[in-house]
Structure 1
Amino acid sequence: MKKGFLIAASCIGLSMISCKKNEDGNKNVIKADGTETILADNGKVDSTIHYNTDINGKKSVKTDYVYKASDGNLVKVVFNYDPKESTVSIRSNNKTFILNKVESKGNETVYEKMDMKATVKGDSLILDQGNNIIQLVKTKI
């Protein structure tokens, strides 16, 4: 009887120790963080820039998105937030256009190069090239 009680007590004790709940979570999961630190030209937080934060608090800038034009074409847009030079690269129909940031108002950023202008506001990107105006909307692909 004593042996059975000792075996049962030791099994219960071992199972309680070995089944400890891990509350750290998966360290490979990246959390989206709403805190933004890059400032626009007017000194306010630039809301057009989005960050991902890993479990250790390290921030990285999410730079590429897929936008959809009103005619259904998909366009790849890559934002470069290098402190030296901020650019946007727009790729569609095997052509790539790289525009330089000229102005940022906090919720709207303007990129230009020669006669092409891109205005980013929220989930929309408006391309203006001469008489052509193309409105793009960010997709969830």
Structure 2
Amino acid sequence: MIKKSILIVALPILIIGCKKNGNKGIVKSDSLEMITADNGKADSTISYNTDINGKKSIKTDYVYKATDGTLVKVVFDYKAKTVSIRSNNKTFILNKVESKGNETTYEKMDMKAKVTKDSLILDQGSNIIELAKTKI
């Protein structure tokens, strides 16, 4: 009988004592690092994802469509200042050369890519390919 009384008294104390307060050692940060153009202003070629809680993150991968219907995967690495362009099982990685805020240029050897908000133009000498961003 005494054991049951101790258990009945101790159980509510344990439940109240285990109240969930969260981990106070975690620092929340709602700030998102803004990527700027070479002129110091916001780069309009950058897009952002917003989750259901309203938190923003930088969108890095896109699918572009060429005028002939070919789909091209494009991934931007803003920290490394590169863009990788994948089509027909070939990947080309170009380095950022210049950013004007509304247009960013990437180059490597004879290949050049000019990126605006909704388009990407690849220039490979005499071969120019125009790509438009898809909604995929």
- TM-score under structure 1 length normalisation: 0.69
Could you say which residue in structure 1 is the equivalent of 2:113? 118
Structure 2: gaps (5+ residues): 1-31
| Aligned alpha-carbon RMSD (Å) | 1.8
In the alignment of these two chains, the number of paired residues is 105
Following superposition, the deviation at residue 90 of structure 1 comes to 0.3
Q: Among the aligned pairs, what percent are the same residue?
A: 82
Following superposition, the deviation at residue 81 of structure 1 comes to 1.2
**Does 2:130 correspond to 1:135?**
yes
Could you say which residue in structure 2 is the equivalent of 1:19? none
Are the counterparts in 1 of residues 65 and 71 from structure 2 also a CA contact under 8 Å? Answer: yes
Following superposition, the deviation at residue 37 of structure 1 comes to 2.1
Counterpart pick for 2:94 among 78, 90, 99: 99
Could you say which residue in structure 2 is the equivalent of 1:61? 58
Are the counterparts in 1 of residues 46 and 117 from structure 2 also a CA contact under 8 Å? Answer: no
Structure 1: gaps (5+ residues): 1-34
- TM-score under structure 2 length normalisation: 0.71
| Structure 1 letter corresponding to 2:108 | K
Following superposition, the deviation at residue 55 of structure 1 comes to 5.4
Following superposition, the deviation at residue 110 of structure 1 comes to 0.3
- Provide runs of 4+ in structure 1 moved above 4 Å: 55-58
Are the counterparts in 1 of residues 49 and 57 from structure 2 also a CA contact under 8 Å? Answer: yes
